[in-house]
Structure formats: structure tokens, C-alpha cells
Structure 1
Amino acid sequence: MLFYGLLFFLFPVIMSENKLISVDFEIYGNVQGVCFRMYTEDQGRSLGLDGWVKNTRQGTVIGQIQGPQDKVNDMKVWLRSVGSPSSRIDRAIFSNQRDISKLEIHGFSTRY
């Protein structure tokens, strides 16, 4: 009985960690010409996320990431504060975060 009570208590936590989400991002700073896209793609793959990354004409980097909420949150921290070794991140904007029932993107790629 104790096991079932504990399971009932932890179920919302387990489910929220496994919930799939999608979020768009835009990164400002010195993020072009410093391998930011390559490092972003590598980091996304290492976290098991799906998505894409792309340079903009305005000098920012945009993209979308999809996957389990906890891993997407880890990627958001990385995008906000780590980036590539030669980058300087001034600001990270995350938008259009939404729950998804299944992945809409497969793999992680750089778009041109």
C-alpha cells in the first residue's frame, strides 16, 4: 500500500519530466562566426533533443528545440549562458513554448 501511495504522489513529477515540449529561441550577442550553430547542434544531440538552428541576417541565431521538458530546460540554460567557446551571449529569448503530443522534428540540424 505504501508503494502505491508513493507512486501516486510521484506520478505528476514523473509525468512532467517526460512531457514533450517545443520552444523557439533567438540568441543575441557575438554568436555568428564563432561556431555557435555547430556547438548548439552538438549540445542538442547530446541531450537527445530534436530541433534546428540557423543564422539570421540581423546577426542573431534562431532555432527550435523539442523533447522532454527537463532536457529542453537544460538546453535553455546552455543557450542562455554557455554557447560556443568564442561566443558572447548578451540575451536569449525563448518564445512559443507549447506542449506537444509527439515530436514534429526528427534529428537536430543546421538550416541555411
Structure 2
Amino acid sequence: MDDRTRAVQARVYGKVQGVGYRLWARSEATGLGLVGWVRNERDGSVTAWLAGADAAVAAIIERLRHGPPGASVSRLDVEELETWTTPGDFRIIA
């Protein structure tokens, strides 16, 4: 069993606001057992902070590349985080 943990910050660009992207991302992340948050940015992108098992983080990164129905992802930037504190759940930040 692999118990490595990983944290990333992902920035998603394209048609990702007004299509339920944050709700979808929270559902996908919690389904994978991840913690963190997701929020809309002023420039029309969405930022997500995600932490958990390495395999689960890898899986959510791939899902973020496609998004929910109605979304159109043009770019995904992922930054590995060296140090982090677990928030304990997954939140949508307004």
C-alpha cells in the first residue's frame, strides 16, 4: 500500500465559471478522499488547492483537465506544494 501524500495548487483556464465547475470539483475531490478548497478568480479562471494520497491527487489533476459538462478547459497549471497544512475538509470559497 502506498501512503505517500501530496499537495498541489491547480489553476484552470477556459470556460470554467458559470458551468458548475466548483461544485463538480468539490464532488470529485471528496469522492477521491482529498481535502482542500476551490474558488473562482477575477480573471475567469478557477483555482483549486488539493491534498491527499498521491494517486488521488494524480487522478483529480486528470479530471480537472476535462471538467464537468459545459466546461471547456484551455489550460491547466499545476504547482507542487512543498509545505502545507491540511484544512480537514474540502470547501468552496466564495
TM range (shorter): over 0.9
Q: Is residue 2:77 matched to residue 1:110? A: no
Q: Which is helix-richer, 1 or 2?
A: 1
Runs of 4+ displaced beyond 6 Å: none
Greater share of residues in strand: 2
Letter matched to residue 9 of structure 2: D
TM-score by length of 1: 0.78
In 1, distance between residues paired with 2:83 and 2:57?
12
After superposition, what is the alpha-carbon deviation per residue over 1:16-66, rounded to whole angstroms, capped at 9, x for unaligned? x31111100100000000000000000001001001000000000001000
Whichever of the two has the greater Rg, that structure is 1
Percent identical pairs in the alignment equals 28
Where in structure 2 are the equivalents of 1:77-88 lying within 5 Å? 77-80=62-65, 82-88=66-72
Distance 1:99 1:68, change over 3 A: farther
Unmatched tracts of structure 2, length 5 or more: none
Gaps of 5+ in 1: 1-13
Q: Could you tell me how far apart the structure 2 residues matched to 1:99 and 1:78 are? A: 24
Normalised to the residue count of structure 2, the TM-score between the two structures is 0.93
Q: Give the count of matched residue pairs.
A: 94
Counterpart in the other structure of 1:90: 74
Cα RMSD, aligned residues only: 1.4
Opposite residue 70 of structure 2, the aligned amino acid is: S
Kindly indicate whether structure 1 or structure 2 has the higher relative contact order, using CA contacts under 8 Å at least 6 residues apart.
Answer: 2
